[in-house]
Amino acid sequence: MTLICGAGAFGTALAVTLARSGPVTLWARDAGYAAEMRAARENARRLPGIALSDQITVIGGDIPDGDAPCLLAVPMQTLGGLLAAHHAALDARPLVACCKGMDLATGLGPTGLIAQGCAKATPAILTGPSFARDIALGLPTALTLACADAATGARLQARLGSHDLRLYRSTDTIGAELGGALKNVIAIGCGAVMGAGLGESARAALMTRGFAEMDRFALAVGAQPDTLAGLSGFGDLVLTCTSGQSRNTRFGHSLGRGEAFDPAITVEGAATARAVADRARALGLDMPITQAIAALVTGELRVAQAVDMLLSRPLKEE
């Protein structure tokens, strides 16, 4: 049986696709929410219109003990709290993070938080270009599964992959998690560009120069050189920056138009922008796009000011 912690859109979508191969337990933090899903046989709040098969058992309350792998499909900023609250049930088993970002309190990524909070667990991360509804509908999707323990990674790849969900294995957890985190920051910027009416040429430039910053940061903190050129970096960047399904892009679009954004919608890139900007300053890295997006998110800059700041930088070689 596969255990998934987190009954948001992505956790539910993973449950739907994995249930085509065997039984799945989907844990929701809110017991009332779990009861609602059991009764309706769908996640009407987060993934409406997608039926939950009889292979999916939705539970609330305590996370069941065991040694089977557990997929952690919760927002990045709540992952540390989940690990602390359910340490006894989660330690000493493979834990696969399915969130993207950097923890604002510690500056750690998902696998770093897992290693810190559950020292006996084997950390892994599932990341790459994907939308929950596409996965739930069985549309072809390719993701990166990164685990520093190669043998565990191979077992997870065989267990979690399917005909429609193709998993590529890596041992570079740092690079994989940073690709998924940093692209959300650039997506906010791309959304702001389009929301402000600056055009698709400006968006393409921001994506390209933003990817250079992503690569610069990742290499500085120990990622392997080729990882960000793959699904978890470049692939995810392209999808997130060009699709209206992306929450980060929609958030940026609202910033560009000067409109309010629904506070109930999780925007991982907002906290990540601040965490990465702080870390980059500490490392002495030149990341002007990231710094500008962090200032947009906190309200320190408006879009016009950020554009002027970036365009007035000295000319340089690419």
Active site residues: 183
Q: Which residues of 80-114 are buried (b: 16+ CB within 10 A; e: fewer)?
A: bebbeebeebbeebbbbbbbbbbbeeeebbbbbbb
| Kind and range of the H or E run holding 274 | helix 268-283
Query: For the chain, how far is it from start to end, CA to CA, in angstroms?
Result: 50
Answer yes or no: are the C-beta atoms of 209 and 286 closer than 8 Å.
no
Answer yes or no: are the C-beta atoms of 186 and 248 closer than 8 Å.
no
Fill in the amino acid letter for 219.
L
3 state DSSP class of 55: coil
Fill in the amino acid letter for 285.
L
Chain-centroid distance, C-alpha 185:
11
Sign of CA pseudo-dihedral 251, 203, 73, 174: negative
Residue 122's closest CA among 99, 160, 150? 150
Answer yes or no: are the C-beta atoms of 122 and 95 closer than 8 Å.
yes
